[in-house]
Structure 1
Amino acid sequence: MKKVKIRLQPIVSKINLPTVLKTAMLPGDSTESLFIATQVGEIFYIGNGAIRTFLDIRSRIIKLGASRGGYDERGLLGLAFHPQFYYNGLFYLHYSVAETQGPGALSKHFSPNPCDPATLNLKWINRETQYDHIDTVEEWIVQSNRQPQKRRTLLNVRRPFFNHNGVNSLNFSPETGKLVLTTGDGGAGYDPFNLSQNNMEIAGKIIEIDIVKNTFIDNPPVVTRFDELPVSIQETLTVIAKGVRNIPGIQFQRFYNQYIKYVGNVGQDLVESIFTFVYYKPIPVTQLVQTALRNTEPDQEGFINFGWRGWEGAFPTSIITSCSGNPDLDEKTIAYYDEAVKTSVRRLPPLTSYYHEDPRPDKFGGTSLTGVQPYLGNAIPNLTGSVVFTDLARRPESQPPVRGVLAYTRVRIDGKLNDFSVIETDYNFGPQSAYYVSLGTNLDQTRLYLGVNGSMKVTDFNQGSVFEIVT
């Protein structure tokens, strides 16, 4: 693959950590504006060279970073504009709700032990008290005076841990017109309760929400499972995929009369993976609930399964037991052998993977996948038709200042695993760290935007910047 060099053109700096970057045309405007959502709950937009506040919901967001030294994966996680936003003013938010802090689902650090069945079959019990926080998905509208106002709540979901809530988690499907919610497995590492493979669990799934249907429920119950939802809400939901660990959204790329879907799955200890598919067969939640009641399995032909927790990308999920005398002799064991076997024939293989350790001179060691975005523009010819992705921080992280990584890959005609190439940039961040935290585009995917933060801590304010990726 060709080496690509780009420039980073600064758009805005000294904002808080940017989680979502996308454009929309405000009602009454003649051009698109770039919208920037921050993890702490602000949404800005940039038009005619000026930055303005679109919405500020910081008071609605759970207190971030208080108990983990400033690091957090909660907050304002998703922002999506209705395909007819210019005409109807509708947009959608996914965020972690203020004053819902709980003790968490486990009292101590979790690591599976293949020799101890108790660690392989944990159950999430006492869910109404043993949880970390509540996430909500809401519908809002821009009123005639351009002031946004909440219209209704679509979902309230109780989460077991603070992490793996997804990011850039709301996007509209151009195929179905439905709102797509991507949810992580609930967190804690290694998916201790195996929520991602359980058909009844909301965690670890890609879910379509039919926003046209009105459930006539103003305040939906707080749930963790599909069968806890009222039937009228179940009827608005279909599940596209399961086996998700953590996910920076789903993206769609038009290819003639169909769409290629791209999904990134954040890895555990070994590898970060990007998946792609065209055809899929979603399963209505009502059908999932009915088959669970009958204790049968739904028809999963065409249903997407990314394989987690049995598989980490293209590899069985592994546990590494340190050998203190000689690190070269560290024991490597399949963490969930039975699950790896069970899901091996049903899982979707990744389009590409990159590793946390990669000695090849033209590659990089990654930390965490933070964005996946197809590019259809011609301004950067070597990237046209490719899918660009970002990693939080190039390894080893111990050598400051930290830098994130841009890279790209392409879909192979034969559908097999493809390689990737680093995208080089000579932007000088100086002594400041530069974690690459988000990736976005405009409506026709001809421009790329990069969100960068100077710290891993959401409590370090005004460390964020947004750039356009240009030649």
Structure 2
Amino acid sequence: MRKVKVRLRPIVSKINLPTVLKTAILPGDSMERLFIATQVGEIFYIGNGEIRTFLDIRPQIIKLGDSELGVSRGGYDERGLLGLAFHPEFYYNSLFYLHYSVAGTQGPGVLSEPFTPNPCNPNTLNLRWKNRETQYDHIDTVEEWMLQANGRPQKRRTLLNIRRPFFNHNGVNSLNFSPETGNLVLTTGDGGSGYDPFNLSQGDLEMAGKIIEIDVAKHTFCNNPPVVTRFDELPTPIQETLKVIAKGVRNIPGISFQRIDNQYIKYAGNVGQDLVESIFSFVHYKPIPVTQLVQASLMKSKPDLEGLINFGWRGWEGAFPTSFIRDCSTNPTLDKKTIAYYYEAIDSSLKRIEPLISYFHKDLRPDKFEGTSLTGVQAYMGNGMPDLTESVVFTDLAKHEESQPPVRGALAYTRISADCKLNDFSVIETDYNFGSKSAYYVSLGTNLDQTRLYLGVYGSMKVTDLNQGTIFEIVPDEGIGN
């Protein structure tokens, strides 16, 4: 695979940190508009060359950048407005959906210090999340909204309220509609901290660490769903709207669907821990109804998980058994990597799927880059950039070798693989001169038919550093096809 060169065309600048980039056609409109959701709670759209406010829920968003357990995060945060999805019939029914962290729900957190497993201490390998109603970080909500005839959006109902143990790993670009089933797809991270302390991602009844389908056509008439952490805590009418597509998720920056030969390939990135960032792909799967999982638990039997996708976390980090790094102070190139969950890796080795591609935090190959954190995965089906046609494009927050200011993010691509087997990737070079400012690549989006790509760039890692965002369209290097 060879390097591809593209141009970044600025669309709008001086906005807050963009978490979601996607397009929709407003009811009564004739033009596809680019919508931008920001982490602090704003949603804008681009119309007639100017930016307009679609919705502003900043007062409903938890205060971002606060300290946790008395230790300042310095403005870094993974909560906020994380998901925006328009109903496939949005033009006709005006429905859209939000996922965000709710104001006023800040809790004390769970663990008193950062977690690292110790294979020599079973107590660190078998932790349980206890006292969940009092020991948590915040509450996330998934809501259905409607754009009223007067142009003002209004909340219709709450679909889910989820209690989260830590501030991080809540997913981002976490809501998307499946063109295959027509259902709303919610991606949830493993709950946060590091190394998934409570192994929530593999727990069948845990809502954390999953890809979940929600049948929004079913009205549960439950206007105030309880705040829960597990599927069996939900009322039966809500359980009946949910199916689980995948487990073993650490943290996903969205899910992308690509139609090839009358079937849909699903792509989902899994943010890594210490070693590797991974993108998984699958075609065939069998979603498991939540009612079936709950019933199996009540009967004290093992549920039938045939067809359920398992990304392998926490036993596996991409294609590797999950490891933690012990520094060799005299020679950093000799850092030791110790398997954290040896028996879990064995147990899940045949139950998991292999990643489509992986890229690494340390990589000496001259044609690659050393990554930090996967931030977006999108299929590209356009012809404007023929070198990328039918490829899968992805972004990394910041190149590891440029971790000191000014930082630059990374853009890359891989070819599709009909058998979803391990593949290679190549770098996408850009022409844009960011000067002395840092450029973290924080989000990646596309339009309705996947013929355009949009990149969200931010000048800081701190959500409290405001108005440092720019949205670009990724266009051909020759300027053709704009």
Question: TM-score scaled to structure 1, two decimals?
Answer: 0.99
**Unmatched tracts of structure 2, length 5 or more:** 68-72, 477-482
Amino acid at match of 1:31: M
In the TM superposition, what is the alpha-carbon distance from 1:329 to its structure 2 partner?
4.7
Residue pairs, 1:86-235, within 5 angstroms: 86-235=91-240
- In structure 2, distance between residues paired with 1:330 and 1:428: 35
**How do residues 418-437 of structure 1 correspond to structure 2 at under 5 angstroms?**
418-437=423-442
1:343 corresponds to 2:348? yes
Aligned to 1:65: 65
**1:325 and 1:358, CA in 2 relative to 1: closer, same or farther beyond 3 A?**
closer
The aligned amino acid for 1:172 is F
Q: Secondary structure at the match of 1:288?
A: helix
For 2:298, which of 293, 308, 328 is the aligned residue? 293
CA distance in 1, matches of 2:392, 2:300: 40
Quick one: which amino acid aligns to residue 182 of structure 2? G
Q: Per-residue deviation at 1:245?
A: 0.1
**What is the match of residue 384 of structure 1?**
389
State the alpha-carbon separation in 1 of the partners of residues 335 and 459 from structure 2.
34
2:422 is the alignment partner of 1:417 = yes
The residue number in structure 2 matching 1:280 is 285
What is aligned with 2:480?
none
- State the match for 2:313 in structure 1: 308
Moved beyond 6 Å, runs of 4+: none
1:414-433 CA-to-partner distances (Å, cap 9, x unmatched) read: 53211100000120011110
* Paired residues of 2:83 and 2:99 also in contact (CA < 8 A): yes
Note the alpha carbon deviations across 1:328-383, whole angstroms, 9 max, x for none. 55432210011100100010100000000111111000000000000000000000
Match of 1:37 in 2: 37
Q: SS at 2:59's partner residue?
A: helix
| CA apart distance, 1:50 | 1.2
Deviation at 1:66, TM superposition (A): 2.0
Distance across 1 between alignment mates of 2:288 and 2:140: 23
The CA distance in 1 between the partners of 2:416 and 2:297, in whole Å, is 36
**Cα 1:315–1:393 shift into 2, 3 Å:** same
Going from structure 1 to structure 2, the CA distance change for 1:355 and 1:381 (only over 3 Å counts) comes to same
Partner residue, 1:52: 52
Aligned match of 2:255: 250
Aligned-pair CA distance for 1:105: 1.2
| CA distance in 2 between partners of 1:34 and 1:325 (Å) | 51
**Change beyond 3 A, Cα 1:403–1:327:** closer
CA distance in 1 between counterparts of 2:444 and 2:331 reads 40
Please give the secondary structure, in 2, of the residue aligned with 1:446.
Answer: coil
Opposite residue 437 of structure 1, the aligned amino acid is V
Cα distance change, pair 354–328 in 1 and its aligned pair in 2 (3 A): closer
* Aligned residue identity for 2:39: Q
SS in 1 for 2:62: coil
**Structure 1 partner of 2:23:** 23
**1:101 partner amino acid:** Q
Structure 2 CA distance for aligned equivalents of residues 190 and 446 of structure 1: 37
Pick aligned residue for 2:338 from 326, 333, 350: 333
The amino acid across from 2:107 in the alignment is G
Give the aligned residue type for 1:375. Y
Report if aligned partners of 2:96, 2:146 keep a CA contact under 8 Å in 1. Answer: yes
Instruction: Compute the TM-score of the two structures, normalised by the length of structure 2.
Output: 0.96
Q: For residues 55 and 328 of structure 1, do their structure 2 counterparts lie closer, same or farther at Cα, with a shift above 3 Å needed?
A: closer
Q: Secondary structure at the match of 1:233?
A: helix
- CA drift at 1:298: 1.4
SS of 1:396's equivalent? helix
Partner residue in 1 for 2:327: 322
| 2:479 aligned partner | none
Compute the displacement of 1:325 (Å). 4.5
Distance 1:328 1:40 in 2: 39
Task: Check conservation: 2:282, 2:420, Cα contact below 8 A.
Answer: no
| Counterpart residue type for residue 40 of structure 1 | V
CA RMSD between the two structures: 0.9
Q: Which moved more, 1:407-416 or 1:422-431?
A: 407-416
Label 1:214 to 1:404 Cα distance change in 2 as closer, same or farther (>3 A): same
Quote the residue 1:440 is aligned against. Answer: 445
Q: Does the CA-based 8 Å contact 1:376-1:446 persist in structure 2?
A: yes
Answer yes or no: is 1:402 the counterpart of 2:407: yes
Structure 1 residues 369 and 432: alpha-carbon distance in aligned structure 2, compared to 1, 3 A threshold: same
Q: Secondary structure at the match of 1:196?
A: helix
Q: By how many angstroms is 1:326 displaced?
A: 4.5
Instruction: Give unmatched runs, 5+ long, in structure 1.
Output: none
Q: Is the 8 A contact 2:281 2:420 kept in 1?
A: no
- State the match for 1:9 in structure 2: 9
Instruction: Judge conservation of contact 2:414–2:425 (CA < 8 Å) in 1.
Output: yes
Contact 1:2–1:382 (8 Å) recurs in 2 = no
Q: How far is 1:8 from its partner? A: 0.2
Deviation, 1:398, is 3.7
Indicate if the aligned counterparts of 2:268 and 2:280 stay in contact, CA closer than 8 A. Answer: yes
Please list the CA deviations of residues 368-405 of structure 1 after superposition, one character each: whole Å capped at 9, or x if unmatched. Answer: 00000000000000000000000000012443210000
Q: Deviations over 1:259-281 (max 9, x none)?
A: 01000000000000000000000
Instruction: Count residues with an aligned counterpart.
Output: 471
Answer whether contact 1:92 1:138 (CA < 8 A) is retained.
yes
